[in-house]
Amino acid sequence: MTRQMTGARMVVQALKDQGVDVVFGYPGGAVLPIYDEIFQQNDIRHILVRHEQGAVHMAEGYARSTGKVGVALVTSGPGATNAVTGLTDALMDSIPIVVLTGQVPTFMIGTDGFQEADTVGITRPCTKMNWLVKDTAKLSETIHQAFHVAKAGRPGPVLVDIPKDVQFANAEYTRPEKARTDHYAPRVKGDIDRITRLVELMETAERPILYTGGGVINSGRGASQLLRELADATDFPVTSTLMGLGAYPASGKNWLGMLGMHGLYEANLAMHGCDLMINIGARFDDRITGRVKDFSPRSKKAHIDIDPSSINKVIHVDIPILGDVGHVLEDLLKIWKARGRKVNREALSKWWAQIGEWKKVNCLAYAPSDKTIKPQYALQRLEALTRGRNRYITTEVGQHQMWAAQYLGFDEPNRWMTSGGLGTMGYGLPASIGVQVAHPDALVINVAGEASWLMNMQEMGTAMQFRAPVKQFILNNERLGMVRQWQELLHGERYSSSWSESLPDFVKLAEAFGCKGIQCTDPKDLDEAIQEMLAYDGPVIFDCRVEKHENCFPMIPSGKPHNEMLLSADAEAFKSGAVLV
């Protein structure tokens, strides 16, 4: 059966056939035909954002918390350029999203028409793939391909640019199963010989470590399950990047905490001192490695990654395994079990004893206060009061983000949404709305700093309009905290433009948006205030006034190796004089 329809209807039909239930977007001249089609149906919900950047971050939040593809729809020109930050963010963090942009009619392309921009040109370096569709007959197939490319292999953002005349014209609709997608089929099975070589190393390793990343989460629930099985069966310690938190549970017995620039002492020292490093779906980011030439100098390294360009990009590895984490872990476990489940128990127990010594440093210790709220304390209380709940956390970018990663525990994947690679301030608020739309009954908290939060605060309007009861937990230090910290430690305490003057009254701001505002300044009131936030049925802006000059430790300054970590003055090791190991 052939089905003729307009390009605009095709867009909506293709989204439905791809299982899309919600689109985040903003209308404009070049997408009016599509919006007209959206108006005339009820299967796809449209969330009207306040700025296109917000739409893309919401799609990201939706995608990361569900494992499905997130969709944003924006107009030509400024609509598309406003989406660029979100696209780059999704590219860096491997988030599958499809962004549909309107474009001026094909006959106007190149004439500098009103709201014309070279969208595919601008977005080429920040998408996994993009298409300008000039023929309605190719539109539906292109959209199906876009979904395939977004999900397959290493996930990422794709963009389809659709001129207005293409939306108006009629053509035959191509169903998803008829669309050609086999031309892009990244290899998912790892090389068995290499996996076997890794198993051999695992059997004799004295100081092994599993270094896990966002690839485990992107690989799906099964991959996280296999990781847990692997860690528990071998008793290997597990650390994770910022992106991979929750793949192995924070309550798990082998958990060392996050590694990297603001990672835990025991995690970084274990990375530095290990003799077998198994990188599972991470990418040796510079926030992880520190100084490359001193990175984990005595270890054999294996790297499991679906992206060939991630392997040997930064760190040369001994056993590269190209494949999907889930598939490779499955084979790895099978082979390890078939060979008799061997590990070097004796050496492992010594290794754990050493790790135990590092843990005694208590690197997350901080000086408590009964006068001001310490940001770490605020997060510990938030954790204590929400841990058991059906909870999703998003963050902005900066000190609060690192503290959240350190002090909040994640026992499941897809519960932690943060801008890791790009470090996009302004990510957390829209992402929290995207998460809430996907999980209407869950508790969704955006842990924020006031400066980041202000970057996309207009999206509170979206939260109100669509009744997304997101909780904005703002650690307000009236500073650009991480910038201030670097200036204190590395730039002679010259605080160049790192404090915010004329901040809004967040409680009044909440009232202006029509939601609830809470301010808390005294640690004694904090629990009650958090409870009030949790109890409120609707969006909350929580202005948590915290210590203004708190630094985030541990910290590996840029370009230093893992064993040259700065610790808080309150960590145990500092008192015993062993700050730098």
Partner 1 sequence: MSALNIKKGSTSHSAYDLRDSHSEVEESHTLAVIVENEPGVLARVIGLFSGRGYNIDSLTVAEVDHTGHRSRITIVTRGTPAVVDQIEAQLSRMVPVYEVHDLTAEGPCVQRELALIKVSGRGEPRIEALRLAEIFRASVVDSTLDSFVFEMTGTPAKIDAFAELMRPLGLKEIARTGVAAMSRGA
Q: Between β-strands 4-6 and 208-212, what pairing exists: parallel, antiparallel or unpaired?
A: unpaired
The CA–CA distances, whole Å, from 461 to 63, 70, 170, 302, 448 equal 21, 21, 37, 47, 17
Near partner 1 by CB under 8 A, which window of 14-22, 119-127, 269-277, 325-333?
A: 119-127
Q: Among 312, 390, 531, 558, which residue sits at the site for partner 1 (rule: CB under 8 A)?
A: 312
Looking at the Cβ atoms of 129 and 509, the one nearer to partner 1 is 129
Please identify, among the stretches 47-55, 279-287, 312-320, 330-338, the one whose residues bind partner 1 according to the rule CB under 8 A: 312-320
- Binding partner 1 (rule: CB under 8 A), the pick from 19, 121, 222, 559 is 121
Residue closer to partner 1, measured from CB, 3 or 313: 313
Number of helices followed by number of strands (H, E) in the chain: 24, 20
Question: Which residue in the set 28, 153, 190, 481 belongs to the binding site for partner 1 (CB under 8 A)?
Answer: 153
Reading the block at residue 409, the tokens are 């525990």
Q: Segment contacting partner 1 (CB under 8 A): 149-157, 264-272, 521-529, 548-556?
A: 149-157
Which amino acid would we find at residue 495?
Answer: Y
Assign 320 to helix, strand or coil.
strand
Q: How far is the CB of 303 from partner 1 (least distance, A)?
A: 12
DSSP states of 110-152 as a string? TS--TT---HHHHHGGGSSEEEE---HHHHHHHHHHHHHHHHS
Least distance to partner 1 from the beta carbon of 284, Å?
13
Q: Which of 243, 271, 402, 482 is catalytic?
A: 482
Which residue has 């001249």 as its token pair? 29
**What's the rounded Cα separation, in Å, for the pair 223 and 225?**
5
What phi and psi, each to the nearest 5 degrees, are found at residue 24?
A: -100, 125
Q: Are 7 and 168 within 8 A, CB to CB?
A: yes
Report the residue from 101, 130, 380, 498 that binds partner 1 according to the rule CB under 8 A.
Answer: 130
| Residue 318 or 525 having the CB closest to partner 1 | 318
Report how many residues bind partner 1 under the rule CB under 8 A. Answer: 22
4-7 own/partner pairs: CB under 8 Å, 24+ apart: 4/170, 4/171, 4/172, 4/173, 5/170, 5/171, 5/173, 6/33, 6/37, 6/136, 6/167, 6/168, 6/169, 6/170, 7/33, 7/136, 7/139, 7/162, 7/166, 7/167, 7/168, 7/169, 7/170, 7/171
Among 2, 42, 111, 309, binds partner 1 (CB under 8 A): 309
Could you give the angle at the alpha carbon of 239 between the alpha carbons of 334 and 153, nearest 5°? Answer: 60
> Least distance (Å) from partner 1 to the CB of residue 29?
24
At 429, list the tokens.
């608020």
Which two structure tokens, joined as six digits, stand for 158? 């794709």
Binding mask 66-105 for partner 1 (x = CB under 8 A): ----------------------------------------
Cα–Cα distance measured from residue 46 to residue 25, given in angstroms and rounded to the nearest whole number: 7
Q: Does 154 bind partner 1 (CB under 8 A)?
A: yes
Q: How far apart are CA 55 and CA 234, in angstroms?
A: 43
Give, to the nearest 10 degrees, the angle between helix 399-407 and helix 481-490: 100
Distance (Å, whole) CA 279 – CA 209: 9
Shortest Å, Cβ 389 to partner 1: 39
**Residue with Cβ nearer partner 1 (114 or 184):** 184
Residue 293 binds to partner 1 (criterion: CB under 8 A): no
Neighbours of 495 (CB within 10 A): 14
Using CA atoms, how far apart are residues 131 and 146, in angstroms rounded to an integer? 9
Q: Please state the closest distance from residue 121 (CB atom) to partner 1, in A.
A: 7
Q: Is 307 in the site for partner 1 (CB under 8 A)?
A: yes
| Greatest distance between any 2 Cα atoms in the chain | 78
Q: Does 313 bind partner 1 (CB under 8 A)?
A: yes
- Reply yes or no on whether 115 is catalytic: yes
Q: Are 227 and 74 in contact (CB under 8 A)?
A: no
Compose the 185-214 pattern: x for residues touching partner 1 by CB under 8 A, - for all others: -x----------------------------
Q: Is 164 a catalytic residue?
A: yes
Interaxial angle between packed helices 265-273 and 345-359, expressed in degrees from 0 to 180 and rounded to the nearest 10 = 140
- Residue corresponding to tokens 């890794």: 198
132 versus 230: smaller Cβ distance to partner 1:
132
- Applying CB under 8 A, the span of 147-155, 295-303, 536-544, 550-558 interacting with partner 1 comes to 147-155
Q: Does 129 bind partner 1 (CB under 8 A)?
A: yes
| Candidate ranges 130-138, 207-215, 219-227, 284-292; the one touching partner 1 (CB under 8 A) | 130-138
The residue (of 312 and 576) whose beta carbon lies closer to partner 1 is: 312
- Provide the 8-state DSSP code for 19: T
184 lines the binding site for partner 1 (CB under 8 A): yes
Distance CA 457, CA 575 (A): 42
Distance CA 417, CA 405 (A): 11
Q: Is residue 457 involved in binding partner 1 (CB under 8 A)?
A: no
Catalytic choice (68, 164, 301, 471): 164
In this structure, what token pair is assigned to residue 406? 């350190």
CB of 308 to partner 1, least distance (A): 4
11, 132, 429, 515: which one contacts partner 1 (CB under 8 A)?
132
Among candidate residues 5, 18, 24, 52, the one labeled active-site is 52
Is residue 482 part of the annotated active site? The answer reads yes
CB of 83 to partner 1, least distance (A): 18
Task: Tally Cβ neighbours within 10 Å of residue 337.
Answer: 11
Among 311, 451, 518, 573, binds partner 1 (CB under 8 A): 311
Q: Which of 308, 461, 538, 557 binds partner 1 (CB under 8 A)?
A: 308
Binding site for partner 1 (CB under 8 A): 120-121, 124-125, 128-132, 149, 153-154, 183-184, 186, 307-309, 311-313, 316
Positions marked active-site = 52, 114-115, 164, 482
